Structure 1
Amino acid sequence: MLPAMYERFLSVLARLRDHRGFRVHQDQNVNKRIRRCYYVGRKGDLEFHAEAVGRTFKIEFFQNVNVENRNGGRYDFDKFARMPRTMQLACAVEMSHVLRKLLELGYVLEGTRQGITSAELLPVLRHAQGRTDEGDPLATFNRGWGEDRFERDQSGWPTATSVNSGYGGKDRDGRPLVSGETMYCRRGGRLFRGVARPGPNDNWILISHGRGVHAQARELFRCEDPAIETRRFVPGQPKRVHAELQKAMKANAYRRVEALARVARKLEEASSTAARGGHGR
């Protein structure tokens, strides 16, 4: 273990012990010769195991209230999901403090799908980075561009002319866009509906249920019948579905194969209709 890395490891453990109230000590189940690199801690029913090896160290939280593995919660899969709701919240708070300490030590947090940016723990990373405006697209916009920048309308959003150099922008069909109007766009082959708000450089933000999707003006469109629009043929989509179908077949994921096969058939029908000129705007 590199001395500098070991010092950081102990610094994080000290944060949990001195500031967060954990009882922290070396893991007595580990051989004495390497015990200095293995620690365990506990605060109420929330526990953690920490180890430092080579150039890395890790801290893993778990509990022994709702356990499946006979050797204890430390060896369970889906540790966070198994925690009672109140313990999940407590765990999120403690992880947030660990992340804050890592930020103080100069680390840059880059989550992965398997790590701290999974669906359950993404709010922890946001809180650790001081991003408390998630779910509020206007606050997110102001954090990036400033609250005093641009002329604003009654909603608090910039006016279209102030952010787009005098041009309000036109949608997919050449019609002028209006701030606050319900519009649609496509993302990943899916139809997204939201309230349109203008952003800089001819970008617009579609807002729905606290989520904002960025799109250029020409990607937006009005839609009287979403059911018709969802059947619109999208070039390239059949190829993507076919690739996913092949992956599912190799993985023997039969339910997914069946579902993707149905989608592929519908796309083939839509493609045939498009080739005959049967789908217009």
Structure 2
Amino acid sequence: MNMTHRAGGFDDLRFKAEYAANRFGIEFYQDVFHKNPHGGFYDFDKYEKMPYLIQKRYDWTLEKLLKYFEKCGYSIKFQQNTCKGAAFIINDYIRSWHHPQERWFSLKDVDGQTVSKSNSTDRDGNMLQNGATKYFRDWSGYLMRGKVYHNINNMWWVLMADGQVRNIACFNLFDLLETDFRGRRKTHRPPQEYVERKRQFSLCSVNELKNELKRRKQRELNA
């Protein structure tokens, strides 16, 4: 391996690094679980394929590396937020002019902070605070929960236990009450054909509907 390339690892977390003029790149991966027959380095969605403990090691390593590079005086610019979990929210805060953070920090540092009342009131009128645990329902109707951190306007990031981050409006967040339904609550969306037929029937008179029922009964007898 030449002097501009390096490879190594931290237990099961592996990396390949490359140095070139005005550029230094590090790419992390793992070989515990991979789909590409040539190894995890050649997989897409490397982070998503990492087992949970390797993901946590990656998040910890990324935080340490960023702090080290900043301490050494390197200028770090985030062109695209490709981080996951807590690192995603931290990265977003650094990149966004809506938040004062300019360098890497711990999410615990912003726990308890809130914003204007119009953008931080949950479903029940309670004030939202960074780091608070709240519930919401996802697009499929399942009950979900996670720690909330303000994003922009009335939108809040929700950091879930599995590392996923969701973007949820404040009025869709809530504390789980005894009266809340725990199961899946799916919005009923009947087929468009059914909706149209129902609309057409609503335009019919009573006599027309009676005649339609008679025709159907007659068809059933003749079948």
Question: Could you tell me the TM-score, scaled by structure 1's length?
Answer: 0.38
Structure number with the higher helix fraction is 1
Question: Could you tell me the TM-score, scaled by structure 2's length?
Answer: 0.46
